[in-house]
Amino acid sequence: MPITTCVFDAYGTLFDVSAAARQAAAEPAFPALRDRWADMAGQWRAKQLQYTWLRAIAGAHADFWQVTQDGLDWALEATGLAGDAALRERLLALYWELQAFPEVPAMLEALKAAGLQTAILSNGAPAMLDGAMQSAGIGALLDDVLSVESVGVFKPDPRVYDLVGARFGCAKTEVLFVSSNGWDAAAAAGYGFTSAWVNRAGEPLDRLPWTPAHVLDDLTSIPQLARR
């Protein structure tokens, strides 16, 4: 079947999750972050994801905003920045204002021009996703935003991927699923989607039973893949 629906992970795929730490590090109020922002941002993101997996396995769901705060608190302590309450507040505020990667608007416009359905499928809480979309100015280019909060468990639980078919009435083979997380793209492939891994960092493939159909440097070629 041809692709009818393109579905994107949000954080790290459409939205630059390092932007909050990078911007705060450039502000005069936070000199201690200037040389440590990249390390802190990496640890924040890693812990954020780890907590989603652990909560999913343990059946201890909390929304992504709680997980994001918990991950930040761990990363600030790990990098020796835990005592700065103003820094913590600023980083959390900036997380609601993440910018899209540069190629995102044109890519989504091309998909819509081709008549394809577009959506986000994210661990993010609805309010967080709404804030990011407004900040990035891409809301009009998406047909829907699907959050794990409607099923109460994080990816890669299959119930999350089920949301796509329930919303759009499409077969799994009609979906191109795109994620910057190798594990997410792999799990989506195992679920039955055609998946693309946006591997901006040039990381090796995860050792999992499934493999994404496509591995990309960025999102530029998504419209061409969808039209194949």
Write out the catalytic residue numbers. 9
Measured CA to CA, the distance from residue 228 to residue 11 in angstroms comes to: 26
Measured CA to CA, the distance from residue 152 to residue 134 in angstroms comes to: 24
Tokens of 8: 């994107």
Cis peptide before 102, with omega less than 30 degrees from 0?
no
- State how beta strands 117-122 and 144-147 pair: parallel
With beta carbons less than 8 A apart as the criterion, state whether 122 and 7 touch.
no
Measured CA to CA, the distance from residue 135 to residue 20 in angstroms comes to: 13
Report which of 113, 104, 124, 91 is spatially closest to residue 25, judged by C-alpha positions.
91
With beta carbons less than 8 A apart as the criterion, state whether 56 and 75 touch.
no
